[in-house]
């Protein structure tokens, strides 16, 4: 986009539906990979009820990366695809329930 003349400070980004922190349990290998990459793990990971696991705040991570990139405006819609099964498909939820298949979501980028 920048090669086409866009300026990061003029970019408006919105984070749509994705898995929420309360639904996103991960193993120690993801926390270790973030630490190895120099990321602040305390910012995106909180302890899980299951020993050795963490809850990953994907929304906070994406918001922080957008800020680091100099994006002008960022809005998180805070919609959890795992928890809100009435509105969203979820691969993880389907896997946990051992269901045969799941629906698909689509993302859109608009240039004005």
User: Residues 38-81: pLDDT tens digits?
Assistant: 998 999 999 999 999 999 999 999 999 999 999 999 999 999 99
What average pLDDT does the segment 15-40 reach? 95
60: which DSSP letter? Answer: H
CATH class, domain 2-96, is alpha beta
Q: Are strands 12-15 and 73-76 parallel, antiparallel or unpaired?
A: parallel
| Domain limits, the chain | 2-96
Asked if 54 and 61 touch (Cβ cutoff 8 Å), the reply is no
Sign of CA dihedral 32, 33, 36, 37: negative
**Whole-structure pTM value:** 0.84
Beta strands in 44-112 (DSSP E): 45-47, 54-56, 73-76
The residues facing 45 across adjacent strands are: 56
């Amino acid at each position: 986009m920048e090669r086409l003349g866009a300026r990061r400070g003029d970019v408006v980004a919105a984070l749509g539906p994705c898995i929420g922190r309360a639904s996103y349990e991960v193993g120690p290998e993801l926390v270790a990979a973030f630490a190895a990459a120099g990321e602040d793990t305390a910012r995106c990971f909180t302890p899980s009820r299951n020993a050795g696991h963490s809850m990953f705040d994907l929304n906070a991570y994406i918001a922080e990366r957008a800020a680091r990139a100099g994006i002008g405006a960022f809005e998180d819609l805070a919609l959890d695809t795992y928890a809100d099964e009435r509105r969203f498909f979820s691969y993880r939820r389907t896997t946990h329930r051992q269901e045969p298949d799941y629906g698909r979501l689509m993302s859109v980028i608009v240039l004005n």
